[in-house]
Structure 1
Amino acid sequence: MANYDLLAKIQGIEILPGSAIYDEIHLLKANNEQLIMKMNGCYYDPKNVRMYMEQITERPIDDSVTVSQPFYTDFGKHIILGKDIFINQNVTFVDLGGITLEDHVLIGPMCRIITVNHLIDPKKRRGLSVAAVKIKENAWLGANVTILPGVTVGKNAIIAADATVTHDVPDNVIVAGSPAKIIKKIS
C-alpha cells in the first residue's frame, strides 16, 4: 500500500493492536527510525540533511528549506513541507496523521507537532487515532510549542513559546498559554 493511500485509510478510524494496519504502521515506523538515526548520527550540511529528509518523507524538499539537527519524526512519510521553511533543532513531528507546513513557516527549537492520540476506552488504550495538523503560510511557532492532533494554525499566526495548542488558531493572531488563547491580533 502506498503511504499516501495509508494516510487516507487511517483518517477517522480506530487503529487497534494486532490489526494488519497497526502492524504495517509499526514496520514503516521502524524503517523510518533507522533513517532518523543515520541523519542525526553526525553533522550534515543543509544539502545532505535535505537529502535525508527526501528519503524520510518520500517527497522532494525544496532547496530553500532548512532543517536543523537533530530532527525527530516517528513515521516520516506523512510530512509535507512547502518552501522557505526553517525548522530549528530538537523538533519532533509525530506525523502518522499528516503534517503540512506551508511556505515561509518558522518552527522554534524543541517544538512538538503531534497527530496521533491513544484511545479513551481503557480496553482499547493501546490503539491509536489520528488527525492531521496544518501550519499555514508564514506562521511562527516559538520555542517549546506543542501542537495537538487536528489543529490548523492560521496564516501569519504566532504561537508564543511554551504554548500548548489544542484548537485551531485563526489567521493573524498571537496565542499564548496552555491551552493557548488569543492574546493579540496582528494588523
Structure 2
Amino acid sequence: MHDATLEDLIAELDAGHLIPGDSPLHRAMHRQSQEAIRIATELNGTYHDEAGVRALLSELVGYEVDVTVGLFPPFTSDFGRNIRLGRNVFINSGCRFQDQGGITLGDGALIGHNTVIATLNHAMDPARRADLEPAPVVIGKDVWIGSSSVITPGVTIGDGAVIGAGSVVTKDVPAGMVAVGSPAKVVRAVMTG
C-alpha cells in the first residue's frame, strides 16, 4: 500500500486490525489527527454559541450531529472521524476522546468533566511499540459517566449504567449497574423509581 486514504484507515480500524508504526495507514492517521487538532483549536480558542459548537463538532466527526447533542468546550479528539453520537448526548468540559478505534455514545449518554475515552493500545513488544491496536468503546443509552473517569479500549458500558467519578473502567459494565473505583468494579444496581 503506497498511500492510504482516510476510508482505508477507518475500514482497518473498524475491523480491529493492527496499524503498524510508520506504515501508510499510520501516516493517514497522523494526517487526520492534524485536522482534528485544527478543528479542536478553533472550537476551544474562542466562544461559540450552541449552534456554533455543534457545527464544529459536526466538522470534526464528519457528519451533522443531532440538534439535541450538547458539548461544553474545551474538548479534544485525537482523530474525530470514528465517533458516533446518539440523540440527547451531553459531553461536559475537559473531555478527551482517542477515537481511532471507535467511540459510540448512545442516546441520552452523559459524559462528565475531564473524562478520557481511549480506543488504542500500543504493542507490548518494545520493538513494535509504535504499532497501534484499536478496540472500540461502546457506551449505551442513558449511561452517566462521572467526572474524571477513564474508559479503556474495548470496554462496553450497558444501557442505564452509572460510572462513579474518578473510576478507571477496564472491563465491561452490565446494563443498569453502578461501577466505581480503579479498576472499576460493579457495586450495585442503579436505583430507579
**TM-score by structure 1 length?**
0.96
1:18 aligns with 2:11: no
Q: Is the 8 A contact 2:162 2:190 kept in 1?
A: no
User: For each residue in 1:5-38, what CA deviation from the matched residue of structure 2 results, as whole angstroms up to 9, or x when unmatched?
Assistant: 5323133322122211011110111111111101
- Per-residue CA deviation, residues 78-112 of structure 1 (Å, 9 max, x unaligned), is 01100011110000000000100010000000000
Identity %, equivalent residues = 37
Aligned equivalent of 2:162: 158
Is residue 21 of structure 2 the alignment partner of residue 8 of structure 1? no
Give the 3 Å change call, closer, same or farther, for CA 181–126 of structure 1 in structure 2. Answer: same
Instruction: State the distance in 1 between where 2:176 and 2:19 align.
Output: 36
The residue correspondences of 1:83-98 to structure 2 (distance < 5 A) are 83-98=87-102
Instruction: Give, as a single letter, the amino acid of the residue that structure 1 aligns with 2:12.
Output: K
The alignment yields a C-alpha RMSD, in angstroms, of 1.3
In structure 1, how many angstroms separate the alpha carbons of the residues matched to 2:45 and 2:159?
A: 34
Runs of 4+ in 1 over 3 A off after TM superposition: 1-5
Q: Distance in 2 between matches of 1:14 and 1:176?
A: 31
Distance 1:5 1:51 in 2: 26
SS at 2:97 equivalent: strand
Once residues 4 and 87 of structure 1 are traced to their aligned partners in structure 2, the CA distance between those partners, rounded to angstroms, is: 26
CA distance in 1, matches of 2:58, 2:26: 24
- TM-score normalised by length of structure 2: 0.93
**Structure 1 residues 27 and 104: alpha-carbon distance in aligned structure 2, compared to 1, 3 A threshold:** same
Which blocks of at least 5 consecutive residues in structure 1 are unaligned? none
Cα offsets for 1:140-169 (capped at 9, x unmatched): 000001000000010000000000000110
The number of residues matched between the two structures is 187
Q: Quote the offset at 1:3 in angstroms.
A: 4.3
Aligned to 1:140: 144
